[in-house]
Chains A and B, each alone.
Chain A
Amino acid sequence: DVKVTQSSRYLVKRTGEKVFLECVQDMDHENMFWYRQDPGLGLRLIYFSYDVKMKEKGDIPEGYSVSREKKERFSLILESASTNQTSMYLCASSKGGREVQETQYFGPGTRLLVL
């Protein structure tokens, strides 16, 4: 079974703090993704990575950055947290490949509250 883990289930941070959300997958997947989930909006893609040290912007990258130094780990960074970044953050991974859309598998999510 694919296992995607996220470092925290719940986080409370203050406005202006730098926040790190960590994601690890154990299936040697090449692709990794960060989404945020908000009521009524479904999941929106923040950033994704298709290889080590590679990153691509998703639909809502503003206010976020990412780091992928190792294949199994993908970090989401909030450089200066703001209250509008209070949300549920979900990490996902999938096999690489351009011939077929591989299934994305998700972690348990991190609920972030920015005060």
Chain B
Amino acid sequence: AQKVTQAQTEISVVEKEDVTLDCVYETRDTTYYLFWYKQPPSGELVFLIRRNSFDEQNEISGRYSWNFQKSTSSFNFTITASQVVDSAVYFCALSEAPRSDYKLSFGAGTTVTVRA
């Protein structure tokens, strides 16, 4: 079963628009970690944020913000005032409890295209 669902395959916006990427996860663990990564055209995954399941406080970093809601098992990501450099594939990932396999389960990714 898919543990991380990113329902949006592609999103296209015009520069300066806001864009929200949805991430819904599934786990039975009470301790887990959620991540967002960005993959620009160059290919390298860039780490953006890590949250643990006990910290539901929303976070803002510059134009990026994250909304973590355990009640709906969602960890959504918003880019405010998007720029062309934000064009990339964005992945949400889940790790379930500290465990020996250190496994990350990734969503399928959302491709964001920001047009000038």
Contact = CB atoms under 8 A, between A and B. Distances in A.
Contact of B104 (A9, A45, A108): A45
Nearest to B103: A45
B98 A88 contact: no
A5 to B, nearest CB: 10
B106 to A, nearest CB: 4
**For chain B, what secondary structure do more than half of its interface residues adopt (helix, strand, loop), or is it mixed?**
loop
Contacts, number: 67
Interface stretch (A16-24, A35-43, A65-73): A35-43
Contact of A42 (B46, B52, B99, B108): B108
A90 B107 contact: no
Interface string A83-100: 000001010101001111
25 contacts: A33-B102, A40-B108, A41-B108, A42-B91, A42-B107, A42-B108, A42-B109, A45-B104, A48-B103, A50-B100, A56-B101, A58-B103, A90-B45, A97-B98, A101-B33, A101-B98, A101-B102, A103-B50, A104-B102, A105-B47, A106-B37, A106-B44, A106-B47, A108-B43, A109-B44
Interface of B: 4, 9, 33, 35, 37, 42-47, 50, 52, 91, 93, 95, 97-104, 106-109
Interface of A: 9, 31, 33, 40-45, 48, 50, 56, 58, 88, 90, 92, 94, 97-109, 111
